[in-house]
Amino acid sequence: MLLLVRRQKIIMRRVIIAGNWKMNKNIAESIDLANTVKRSLYDVESVEIVLCPPFTSLSDVNEVLIESNIGLGAQDVYWEKEGAFTGEVSCSMLKSAGCKYCIVGHSERRQFFGETNETVNKKAKALLANSLKPIVCVGEKLEDRKADKTFQVVKDHVVNSLAGLTKEDMANVVVAYEPVWAIGTGVNATKEQAQEVHKYIRGLLKEMFDEATADSVRIQYGGSVKPDNIKELIQQEDVDGALVGGASLKADPFAQIVRGCL
């Protein structure tokens, strides 16, 4: 039965596993890791694989990944086209470096760099206008969960980060549910906790757009994903992939996570 559900899901929503390297890997290390990941996963077709190195490595990793089964993503973007915005990187710059995806609204950016739903929304719209696919991160902090505010916080993130997007836009959006308490802690959400929130997010998408749109959007789980927990997470009906931090910094665990979804 589980297998059947999983098979149906593959047909409806292709599993997507993305590695968020965060602020790790210089250029040489990035090339090395991308090459090893490429070699380890050259035969995988049914799972979409994306690597998100730091800005400085994007172009070089793109060279490695060209004509492979692995796509390239960035970790952030600025919404303006160009101009006096010291330190920022535009959509067209990401495109010229070979990106197809870009993470926006990661909790580390919300926590340390003043990212808000409004800026996430502007970034998502700019990416879509430039034919780049946003991976929009949402998720509650431990204090929110303890105060029984998980759904409230997730709703605020989803509704406001995706405000004004069309059904057509949503075909190119991935949502990543990353409970902040599970990021980098080794304590992942249980499969039940993940499924509960993913199902809630899909319900919100149905209210915001329509059922067909909600059914087709891929919702990744992120937070201490490892080779030994991916299988039970990915078997959940509304879990369509993973956004992997620590375990994406070495080819072997990352490849095992991808293969755990086959």
Minimum CB–partner distance for residue 167 and ligand 13P (Å): 26
Binding of ligand 13P at residue 20 (CB under 6 A)? yes
Which residues between 211 and 240 bind ligand 13P (CB under 6 A)?
222-225
Q: Which of 72, 140, 63, 75 is nearest to 105 (CA)?
A: 75
Q: Which of 48, 108, 115, 178 is catalytic?
A: 178
Residue whose CB is less far from ligand 13P, 98 or 245? 245
Q: Which of 243, 255, 257, 258 binds ligand 13P (CB under 6 A)?
A: 243
Binding of ligand 13P at residue 139 (CB under 6 A)? no
Residue with tokens 């970034």: 123
Residue whose CB is less far from ligand 13P, 71 or 246? 246
Binding of ligand 13P at residue 120 (CB under 6 A)? no
Which residues between 165 and 184 bind ligand 13P (CB under 6 A)?
178, 183-184
157 a catalytic residue: no
Binding of ligand 13P at residue 73 (CB under 6 A)? no
Binding of ligand 13P at residue 189 (CB under 6 A)? no
Residue whose CB is less far from ligand 13P, 24 or 172? 24
Minimum CB–partner distance for residue 52 and ligand 13P (Å): 8
Which residues between 81 and 110 bind ligand 13P (CB under 6 A)?
106
State the SS3 of the chain: CHHHHHHHHHHHCCCEEEEECCCCCCHHHHHHHHHHHHHHCCCCCCCEEEEECCHHHHHHHHHHHCCCCEEEEECCCCCCCCCCCCCCCCHHHHHHCCCCEEEECCHHHHHHCCCCHHHHHHHHHHHHHCCCEEEEEECCCHHHHHCCCHHHHHHHHHHHHCCCCCHHHHCCCEEEECCHHHCCCCCCCCHHHHHHHHHHHHHHHHHHCCHHHHHHCEEEEECCCCCCCHHHHHCCCCCCEEEECHHHCCHHHHHHHHHCCC
With contacts defined by CB under 6 A, name the span among 8-16, 163-171, 229-237, 245-253 that binds ligand 13P: 245-253
Residue with tokens 């098979």: 7
Contact 125, 233 (CB under 8 A): no
* CA 199 – CA 197 distance, rounded (Å): 5
Binding of ligand 13P at residue 246 (CB under 6 A)? yes
Minimum CB–partner distance for residue 173 and ligand 13P (Å): 16
Minimum CB–partner distance for residue 141 and ligand 13P (Å): 13
Query: By Cβ distance, which residue is nearest to ligand 13P?
Result: 245
Q: Which residues carry out catalysis?
A: 106, 178
Where on the chain is the footprint of ligand 13P (CB under 6 A)? Answer: 20, 106, 178, 183-184, 222-225, 243-247
